[in-house]
Amino acid sequence: MQTQLTSVFANTNKGQEAEAILRSCVHCGFCNATCPTYQLLGDERDGPRGRIYLIKQVLEGSTPTTETQLRLDRCLSCRACETTCPSGVQFGRLADIGRELIEQEVKRPWPQSLLRHLLLHTLPYPSRINALIKTGRLFQPVLPEALKHKIPIMNQAAACSNKHHARKMLVLAGCIQSVASPATNQALAVVLDKLGIELLSADTAGCCGAMAHHLSASEQALQMMRNNIDAWWPYVESGVESILVSASGCGVMVKDYGHLLRDDPVYADKAAKITSLSKDPVEVLTKALSGKDWSQLGQGQRIAFQSPCSLQHGQKLAGKVEALLSSLGFTLLPVKDSHLCCGSAGSYSILQARLSAQLRSHKLEALLATQAEQIVTANIGCQLHLSTADQPLKHWLELVAENVNHV
């Protein structure tokens, strides 16, 4: 695609990055076929090609409007378009650059600004989330239907081994997951313990920064990244093998620290090292289980896996969890349209509630049609978004940990 960025952007790192991405797009439109919002709304401007064109116009000097902002707000950042694109267009990075620019130029109505401010100052902080959930539970009976299912169904962590091992890995506790599903990282510790690996956690690490990053609060996001790097650095120096992130939405963010902090004179090298150590648990377990026979673990239980966009499109790990669970003796059932987003997408389920509810309903229909004994996922956002009182979802690591005594 031909571009003529204004000199204001053309001479900046972000402008040059955006220009290279724009030039890689050949405008074929294949990406529209797998874009959830294009499928729901049928408007070119609600698909990736149209959004690329809108961002291009802004970078070339057009004044963005509330309409431009709306079309980008409706994007889930699911990156299904990246998986489909034959030209390797990095839509996610371009959307981040475009959103930040438009955020600076288009003033939002105050209720929207207030809501975004509240999200930025509650969801990334475990103690504030805890207080919010407790208050929500208290008032749940009188809440509108749309809000009732947004109060997380919390699970409890089982007792976990504290055995020391020579092999050590670090885990991100995270923000929402540490409050709503502590069982996930406990399960990871149980499985790793069985494999002779000790799981450590840094007390002062916190939110990965994804929420702030996707709401265009760049400085808040970068500060969260620097905080985590500081918290992890002593462990890195002591030789931990990997930094594990069990929520795939946070994992895709931590894997991006090296890129996002590449121009930071103090943190660039450290961030690149963090990126090189960062792994989704499926990457580590697939390797650690190679040559071991754990094929009796699952005992044929019929499972549906809800593959998060951040895992399949963001981290490019499509099919890895399914393959691992199959090798462990679970029966994996095919899920219709498994490449499509469930509508959770960080704060999307709150900020774009109508579209999110439609996607949730489609995803639940596809998952329940499998008639699986259990539905599992790999990201806390999808887990909370899709759980119902009758069918709570769990992380796939919990499933493995619950059955680990079969091997």
Q: Which of 18, 19, 54, 77 binds ligand SF4 (CB under 6 A)?
A: 77
Nearest residue (CB) to ligand SF4, 56 versus 116 = 56
DSSP codes joined into one string, 249-303? HHHHHHTTHHHHTTT-TTTHHHHHHHHHHEE-HHHHHHHHTTT---TTSSTT-EE
Does the footprint of ligand SF4 cover residue 220 (CB under 6 A)?
A: no
Choose which of 18, 22, 59, 85 interacts with ligand SF4 (CB under 6 A).
85
75 vs 151 by CB, closer to ligand SF4: 75
Q: Do residues 335 and 363 lie in contact, with contact meaning Cβ atoms separated by under 8 Å?
A: no
Of 27 and 164, CB closest to ligand SF4: 27
72 is a contact residue toward ligand SF4 (CB under 6 A) = no
Task: Please identify which residue in 6, 11, 12, 87 interacts with ligand SF4, judged by CB under 6 A.
Answer: 87
In one letter, which amino acid is 116? R
Q: How far is the CB of 5 from ligand SF4 (least distance, A)?
A: 17
* Cα Dmax for the chain: 64
Select the residue interacting with ligand SF4 from 15, 19, 22, 36 (CB under 6 A). Answer: 36
**Using the rule CB under 6 A, which residue among 21, 31, 199, 260 binds ligand SF4?**
31
26 near ligand SF4 (CB under 6 A): yes
Q: How far is the CB of 383 from ligand SF4 (least distance, A)?
A: 20
Q: Does 51 bind ligand SF4 (CB under 6 A)?
A: yes
| 42 belongs to the binding site for ligand SF4 (CB under 6 A) | no
Q: Which of 45, 49, 71, 214 binds ligand SF4 (CB under 6 A)?
A: 49
How far apart are the C-alpha atoms of 15 and 395, rounded to whole Å?
A: 39
Least Å from the CB of residue 235 to ligand SF4:
33
* Cross-sheet strand order for the sheet of 167-171: 197-201, 167-171, 243-244, 278-279
Determine the interface stretch with ligand SF4 among 77-85, 256-264, 389-397, 399-407 (rule: CB under 6 A): 77-85
Which of 30, 53, 125, 233 binds ligand SF4 (CB under 6 A)? It is: 30
| 95, 61 contact by CB (below 8 A) | no
Residues paired with 44 in a beta bridge: none
Residue 58 DSSP symbol: H
Q: Does 37 interact with ligand SF4 (rule: CB under 6 A)? A: yes
Contact (Cβ atoms closer than 8 angstroms) between residue 260 and residue 225: yes
53 lies in the binding site for ligand SF4 (CB under 6 A): no
Provide the minimum distance between the beta carbon of 84 and ligand SF4 in the complex, in angstroms, as a whole number.
6
Q: How far apart are the first and last CA of the chain?
A: 55
Q: How many residues bind ligand SF4 (CB under 6 A)?
A: 24
Question: Measuring CA to CA, which residue among 293, 258, 292, 294 is closest to residue 274?
Answer: 258
Q: How far is the CB of 89 from ligand SF4 (least distance, A)?
A: 4
Nearer to ligand SF4, 151 or 355 (CB): 355
* Contact between 180 and 152 (Cβ < 8 Å): yes
Q: How far apart are CA 139 and CA 131, in angstroms?
A: 13
Burial status of residue 295 (CB atoms within 10 A of its CB: 0-12, 13-18, 19 or more): middle
Q: Site residues for ligand SF4, window 88-147 (CB under 6 A)?
A: 89, 91
Residues whose CB is less than 8 angstroms from the CB of residue 191 and which lie 6 or more positions away in sequence, other chains included? 285, 397, 400, 401, 404
Structure tokens, 70: 């709306």
**Among residues 5, 58, 59, 80, which is the contact residue for ligand SF4, using CB under 6 A?**
80
> Pick from 119, 112, 22: which is nearest to 73 by CA?
112
Q: Which of 29, 61, 196, 300 binds ligand SF4 (CB under 6 A)?
A: 29
Distances (CA, A) of 123 to 115, 247, 249: 12, 15, 14
CB of 245 to ligand SF4, least distance (A): 21
DSSP 158: P
Verify binding: residue 21, ligand SF4, rule CB under 6 A.
Answer: no
Of 5, 21, 22, 35, which lies in the binding site for ligand SF4, with binding defined by CB under 6 A? 35
Looking at the Cβ atoms of 37 and 178, the one nearer to ligand SF4 is: 37
The residues of the shown chain that bind ligand SF4, judged by CB under 6 A, are: 25-31, 35-37, 48-49, 51, 75-81, 85, 87, 89, 91
